Structure 1
Amino acid sequence: MKPVSTRPHFVEMEKATLQRWRDAHMIEKYIHRNDASDRHWSFIDGPITANNPMGVHHAWGRSYKDLWQRFHTMLGEKQRYQNGFDCQGLWIEVEVEKEHGFTSKKDIAEFGIDKFVQECKDRVQRFAAVQTEQSIRLGYWMDWDNSYYTNSDENNYTIWLFLKKCFERGWVYKGHDTMPWCPRCATGLSEHEIVTEGYREVTHTSVYLKFPLLERPGESLLVWTTTPWTLPGNVAAAVHPALTYLKVQQGNDVLYVSKGAAKSALQGEHEVLGEVQGKDLVGLTYRGPFDELPVQQGIVHRVISWDEVSDAEGTGIVHIAPGCGKEDFGLSKEHDLAVIAPCDDEGLYVDGFASLTGAVVSDDATRDAIFASLRDKTLLYRTHRYPHRYPHCWRCGTELIFRLVDEWFISMDDLRHQIADVTKQIRWIPDFGLARELDWLKNMDDWMISKKRYYGLALPIFDCEACGAFEVIGSETELKERAIEGWEVFEGHSPHKPFIDAVKIACRKCGAAVSRIPDVGNPWLDAGIVAFATLQYRHDRAYWVQWFPAHFITEAFPGQFRNWFYSLLTMSTALEDRPPFEVVLGHAMVRDEHGEEMHKSKGNAIWFDDAAEKMGADVMRWLFVSQN
């Protein structure tokens, strides 16, 4: 008998075992063990982002994935064992920017888009190799010579096919709206990207200010905002028609404030002169806080009615700036309000804002200048430090602003209920997952699919500037057939910027030469199409039928309802009106010692290699698979 040490060194034992398996080609033997079986089991690996080494938080899901595949291997079922790498989007771009010390999107343009895109691809390959070795150490046995990459031509062109189907059904449209915007990355973010990781607790300096009523000299509305930078874009003030508002005397001022908010909003002694209903204030006009600005000339500021106004905080009177808020922009359409768009894509005030032009809208110095201006005009009531949850860029951590932009969307009006019907055909473990997904489908907005960035899916949308018509190209073959210019520049390259941007097609409506829109795609398109792209949907439908739908997937529940699960379900519903998987197992997130979810972008992650060298990957694996 071989003696067993009373103090075994698990890490060294693990490395010796891994080498023995490698020498014996055990992974290759394992994945081909059931090739001749007449039974199969289909699994889709949710792609891991290949932009850094793994953290321990990745090991939980990968341990589950291997556990289920091993079980079905033991049952004698043939499998594909295909690992996935997520390869496009801000995940990759921001890391390459960090390597070069870039601070804005302009730095990328100066560096060269072609070189930048290639470096993004190179980074993916570098860290895909690192993650492959880490996964093998974890015991995750896959066909590592056949991993899928979401930046592959096949993945991108299959998304083109999906978008073509959506276009043919009238679901693709260009929207002009106020969207969450990252001024550092200079791109918009979809609702899906900020509802999970996007909010952080911060403290801002809010401001209470007066809007003097023109019809009632000496009387003012008392208004509150947490975003002072939006005040130069103010065009209206909203009240709830059914709320009660107090008319109070304070010094020389007569102020209107909601009865429910008066105690917290007012500071100092005051006398209540009377009460009015919100509907009685509607239609009054007031002097705007920045009427002196060129962009404000000719605008009549008025009080409007809005049922969403609350007096739970603030003053019960809401400052409306349609160019700086989604609800505000909606109100501008309803009430025919002027729309002022204050800032450019880097978050700087544009021309027409006098001394503010060129200033960073969210800077403390800008805020102080706005407060000083309000004070000089005797409009400042008071400031207040206000802690609240505020949206941030999930990738770079910058506070978001809301900006009026043109973006491309897939309408969910027709799809929403179809996706819900498909979702109900899936078994969710735990079963509350179904309710979570249905709740998201019920309340979600249209899917914003465009990004004003450089490395990602080249959206195949050609928008004619001459007549306003647009169309979607559905394949590389169609693009070649339709090309009237630039094909020779693009041919031989992957469907990425900048080479694909050389191609022009003839507008079917007016005949003008049309370029592709410069935007790239939302990266959740990349991961959502894998149930089709990895199974040769475009070229070998019989193979796809054999392996679709997947019998099983597993990922962390938090966030994926709005991201991977949602994109899988949407794209499968649009293409086939069927579930892309039969069973989904959800697990929780790994948290740090403070209870915060671990993310590399947060800086609280533990690197996989560091942990494996201390505790051994096998111990880590056992820790995760023993959870229920």
Structure 2
Amino acid sequence: VSEGYKEITHLSVYVRFPLEGRDRESLLVWTTTPWTLTANVAAAVHPDLTYVRVRQNDEVLILAEEAARHALRGPYEVLQYLKGSDLIGLQYRGPYDHLPVNAQVEHRVIPWEAVDPSEGTGIVHIAPGCGREDYQLSKEHALAVIAPLTEDGYYVDGFDWLTGQHVHTVADPIARDLETRGLLYRREPYTHRYPTCWRCGTELVFRLVDEWFIAVDPWREKVMEAARQVRWIPEFGLERELDWLRNMDDWMISKKRYWGLALPIWQCAECGWFDVIGSEQELRERAIAGWEEFEGHTPHRPWIDAVKIRCERCGAVASRIPDVGNPWLDAGIVPFSTLRYRHDRDFWQEWFPVDFITESFPGQFRNWFYSLLAQSTVLTGQAPMKTCLGFALLRDEKGEEMHKSKGNAIWFDEAAERAGVDVMRWLYLKHNPAQNLNFGWRLLDEVRRTFLLPLWNSYAFFANYARLDGFVPSQHDVPLEERTLLDRWILARLQQVIMTVRDRIQDYDSMNAARTLQEFVVDDLSSWYIRRNRRRFWKTESDRDKAAAYLTLYEVLVTLAKLLAPFIPFTTELMYQNLVRRVDPQAPESVHLTDYPEADPAKADLQLIQDMNWLLRAVELGRAARNKAGVKVRQPLARAVVAVREPAARRALERLLDQFMDELNVKTVEFAERPEDYLTYRVKPNLPVLGPRLGAKLPAFQRVLTELEQNQLARRLRAGNHVVLVVDGEELEFGPDDFLVEALDRPGFAAFEDRDLLVAVDLEITPELRLEGLARDFVRGVQEARKNAGFEIDDTIVVVYRASGDMAAAVERFADYIAHETLAVELRPGDPEREDGHLEEMKVGRERFVVALRRVGRLAEARR
């Protein structure tokens, strides 16, 4: 409801309303909209507030006691204290009584408990033709109503010199006019939140017009009960809808527009009688003119306006009112107008109520959601939908509203062309719908980088190597039990993902469905399975292990294309066409015509998934230990030590030991019983936090701390637990932020621990290990040079290098390994600068080397 409000500075005025029958005594009134003074009919006071009569110079002013200090200027004398109720009924002369429109208006003081003395004077001027609350007061107190403005914001006839003036231009002239006539006490600028047009930013004003309403009270409770039948996503949607229903006024259903839903209300201009027509058949029967002109057209203007009926009160001709329906009235009958409710009730009942609707919720609780509920409740006694998903607003990258005038709007066509619609869809679908979504190029690039590219690269990896090997899935069959543990694990994880995604989609939870898919693609498939299996695809010989790798990755990618099809339809269609239709023309023509995947229980190996989870945790700890010591993963180490308390964890790591050793790049693994043999802790007080809190008790606290077993305490704190310690006879509770925990590695090792698992690496690097590490650095350098040279992944090359010292020794020692990893058919020392081909100089630590690469063939030739 607050959309379009801005901080705006207006001219505010303090104005005297002279009291009838009292000499030089006035009510002091304040307003931020001087234009409304022309339509003033009353002044409101809070009946329970204390007011004062004050003498200032030669006049007496009345205002709230609390307001006197900030409203008055200069010294004053309090003559009398009185309650607001004592002022009710006093009559005064309005500031514009001399205008023709005010000729018959009697101005008086009325009670209003909403009066606030913290701003202004505690006396509010009331103009029912210029404000919602004012108009409501006019109905309660039988006040006159003066509507001063045309629909374009100009003063109507009867306002003397103001007639024809625009409302946005009269504040200063009105203030000068009041000053000339001795009614202006003072003026000052005032900044407040004020409504503006959401589209163009123009300031809005309130204007009284005649509209048509539907009374809400007769069916308010029934609509609230219908709202409770709906499942609201997010859950707070129900309370927001109920809050609107509890507090909404009668429903305004008309609009002063030409096109729209023609309200079926015919009114007699002679006597005011009106009737609501219930159907075209009824209108045909009651029409006395215009039916032929209307027949054959939709019930819209101008055709419907030609039809006339007879006034049942006075017999005159009644015409349709010129108003059209509020657009939300039209939108609310969708469950009936689109489902043949009037013409085929059986068909309508097949589809009603609908399973699901969705719209942006900030405004729809009072618009579409309400209109749907209200009209359906009246017609059927129930809600028209089973589930309502509301989502928040789209903002720019800074969280600000998008507007063309602000220059921060991004048009759909521009975003679709520049970022791609699948990127946009993924951004929307993985976002929490209860929160506003910031939209911009940086966020779209992040979506592409963090999900679409890993997915596409995984697909491209398979496609490139399958093309090189001429792999056709139907020509191979490797039973699941003969495949590697990694193959069986990724297929087991895929079954988990299928079950989760299906469950989340059926629950209208696109966010967690999308996040599950992204986690699988990025963490499980791209970063683990494909990376750990690259060599199975690289090798030139074709065997059952390579076929198993192809079959496994093919199944994963095809299943992903189907799972992701509702989310990113264009990317998955391209994947499906290349993966499936290219090798099987008889397959369904599109991924969107295939069945949605169902989990295969035979592949859902939960034990293997649990074992791999232990491995992944151990690998993460081992990498953290290496990183802590500043030893890169390419540098082999002699051993790692794993301390684990869970027997199941040890069995898992022993089962997957080769993966652990290869991933962590260690030669051996030892299991230990005592993690404290490799990592101990020292716990210290966080003095900036505890000093002010403990004061004189700090020394006693430090003594208690030194007596505690440090490793146990540290592990409790690192797990986020609080501890209770007795300090000077008093039990005190402390949290993790009250301590500083220092980890102490065993000399010669680097270790990292997470709850019940510790991994330590032996930091001793022998000469042989150092050479192997340099050889791996050399491989990385050649691979970078291949990429920079623009070689294809299957190009075979000749490498001529110049190196010295340990690097030369490393290349010579591990020449076969280097040649295999870089697809080098020849690797020899020489003078790279004299060679044809791509030349690069590289540095690793203190070692420098130069390589020249020349393309000589394709791996496919070697495979043939």
Quick one: which amino acid aligns to residue 144 of structure 2? A
- Summarize the Cα distance change of 1:336–1:560 in structure 2 as closer, same or farther, 3 Å threshold: closer
Say whether 1:576 aligns with 2:380. Answer: yes
1:73-97: per-residue Cα shift (whole Å, max 9, x none)?
A: xxxxxxxxxxxxxxxxxxxxxxxxx
In the other structure, the counterpart of 1:227 is 33
In the other structure, the counterpart of 2:255 is 451
Which shows bigger deviation, 445-454 or 257-266? 257-266
Does the 8 A contact of 1:215 with 1:284 survive in 2?
no
- Summarize the Cα distance change of 1:271–1:324 in structure 2 as closer, same or farther, 3 Å threshold: same
Q: Say which of 320, 338, 354 aligns to 2:160.
A: 354
Quick one: which amino acid aligns to residue 383 of structure 2? P
1:35-73: per-residue Cα shift (whole Å, max 9, x none)?
A: xxxxxxxxxxxxxxxxxxxxxxxxxxxxxxxxxxxxxxx
- Summarize the Cα distance change of 1:325–1:506 in structure 2 as closer, same or farther, 3 Å threshold: same
- Summarize the Cα distance change of 1:221–1:341 in structure 2 as closer, same or farther, 3 Å threshold: same
1:120-150: per-residue Cα shift (whole Å, max 9, x none)?
A: xxxxxxxxxxxxxxxxxxxxxxxxxxxxxxx
1:225-272: per-residue Cα shift (whole Å, max 9, x none)?
A: 121111111121111111011222333332222122223322333333
In the other structure, the counterpart of 2:72 is 266
**Structure 2 alignment gaps of length 5 or more:** 433-864
Write the mapping of 1:190-269 to structure 2, written as runs, cut at 5 A. 195-269=1-75
In the other structure, the counterpart of 2:241 is 437
Say whether 1:524 aligns with 2:328. Answer: yes
Say whether 1:320 aligns with 2:320. Answer: no
In structure 2, what is the Cα distance between the partners aligned to 1:375 and 1:401? 24
In structure 2, what is the Cα distance between the partners aligned to 1:482 and 1:604? 55
**Structure 1 alignment gaps of length 5 or more:** 1-194
Give 3-state SS (helix, strand or coil) of 2:194's partner. Answer: strand
- Summarize the Cα distance change of 1:496–1:297 in structure 2 as closer, same or farther, 3 Å threshold: same
Normalising by structure 1, report the TM-score.
Answer: 0.66
In structure 1, what is the Cα distance between the partners aligned to 2:252 and 2:8? 27
Greater share of helix residues, 1 or 2?
2
Quick one: which amino acid aligns to residue 112 of structure 2? W
Write the mapping of 1:136-535 to structure 2, written as runs, cut at 5 A. 195-360=1-166, 362-364=167-169, 366-394=170-198, 397-535=201-339
In structure 1, what is the Cα distance between the partners aligned to 2:275 and 2:187? 50
In structure 1, what is the Cα distance between the partners aligned to 2:407 and 2:118? 35
In the other structure, the counterpart of 2:756 is none
Cα deviation, residue 196, structure 1:
4.8
Say whether 1:595 aligns with 2:393. Answer: no
- Summarize the Cα distance change of 1:367–1:437 in structure 2 as closer, same or farther, 3 Å threshold: same
Give 3-state SS (helix, strand or coil) of 2:212's partner. Answer: strand
Does the 8 A contact of 1:572 with 1:578 survive in 2?
yes
Does the 8 A contact of 1:428 with 1:583 survive in 2?
yes
Does the 8 A contact of 1:589 with 1:598 survive in 2?
no
- Summarize the Cα distance change of 1:557–1:404 in structure 2 as closer, same or farther, 3 Å threshold: closer
In structure 2, what is the Cα distance between the partners aligned to 1:415 and 1:598? 38
Quick one: which amino acid aligns to residue 46 of structure 2? H
Does the 8 A contact of 2:259 with 2:300 survive in 1?
yes
Does the 8 A contact of 1:210 with 1:380 survive in 2?
yes
Q: Say which of 336, 343, 360 aligns to 1:556.
A: 360
Give 3-state SS (helix, strand or coil) of 1:374's partner. Answer: helix
Cα deviation, residue 424, structure 1:
0.6
Does the 8 A contact of 1:310 with 1:316 survive in 2?
yes
Quick one: which amino acid aligns to residue 132 of structure 2? K
Quick one: which amino acid aligns to residue 479 of structure 1? L
Over aligned residues, Cα RMSD in angstroms? 2.0
Does the 8 A contact of 2:11 with 2:172 survive in 1?
no
Does the 8 A contact of 2:50 with 2:82 survive in 1?
yes
Give 3-state SS (helix, strand or coil) of 1:403's partner. Answer: coil
- Summarize the Cα distance change of 1:604–1:538 in structure 2 as closer, same or farther, 3 Å threshold: farther
1:468-521: per-residue Cα shift (whole Å, max 9, x none)?
A: 221111222322222111122222332222222111112233332111001111
1:303-362: per-residue Cα shift (whole Å, max 9, x none)?
A: 2222222213211101012222232233233333232222233222222211111212x2
Between the two proteins, the alignment pairs up a number of residues equal to 432
Give 3-state SS (helix, strand or coil) of 1:621's partner. Answer: helix
Give 3-state SS (helix, strand or coil) of 1:347's partner. Answer: coil
Does the 8 A contact of 1:427 with 1:582 survive in 2?
yes
Give 3-state SS (helix, strand or coil) of 1:261's partner. Answer: helix
Normalising by structure 2, report the TM-score.
Answer: 0.48
Cα deviation, residue 557, structure 1:
1.6
Cα deviation, residue 585, structure 1:
1.7
- Summarize the Cα distance change of 1:540–1:201 in structure 2 as closer, same or farther, 3 Å threshold: farther
In structure 2, what is the Cα distance between the partners aligned to 1:254 and 1:594? 53
Does the 8 A contact of 1:196 with 1:558 survive in 2?
no
1:388-433: per-residue Cα shift (whole Å, max 9, x none)?
A: 2223445665433333322101110112111001001111111111
- Summarize the Cα distance change of 1:529–1:229 in structure 2 as closer, same or farther, 3 Å threshold: same
Give 3-state SS (helix, strand or coil) of 2:394's partner. Answer: coil
In structure 2, what is the Cα distance between the partners aligned to 1:617 and 1:341? 50
Cα deviation, residue 601, structure 1:
8.2
Give 3-state SS (helix, strand or coil) of 1:583's partner. Answer: strand
Does the 8 A contact of 1:349 with 1:357 survive in 2?
yes
Quick one: which amino acid aligns to residue 183 of structure 2? L
Does the 8 A contact of 2:199 with 2:403 survive in 1?
no
Q: Give percent identity, aligned residues only.
A: 66
1:244-301: per-residue Cα shift (whole Å, max 9, x none)?
A: 1122233333222212222332233333333221112222222211122122224332
Does the 8 A contact of 1:196 with 1:559 survive in 2?
no
Does the 8 A contact of 2:16 with 2:26 survive in 1?
yes
In structure 2, what is the Cα distance between the partners aligned to 1:387 and 1:497? 44
1:418-469: per-residue Cα shift (whole Å, max 9, x none)?
A: 1001001111111111110000001111111111111111111001123322
In structure 2, what is the Cα distance between the partners aligned to 1:401 and 1:459? 27
In structure 2, what is the Cα distance between the partners aligned to 1:562 and 1:317? 33
Give 3-state SS (helix, strand or coil) of 2:217's partner. Answer: coil
Give 3-state SS (helix, strand or coil) of 1:381's partner. Answer: strand
1:96-138: per-residue Cα shift (whole Å, max 9, x none)?
A: xxxxxxxxxxxxxxxxxxxxxxxxxxxxxxxxxxxxxxxxxxx
Q: Which of the two has higher C-alpha Rg?
A: 2
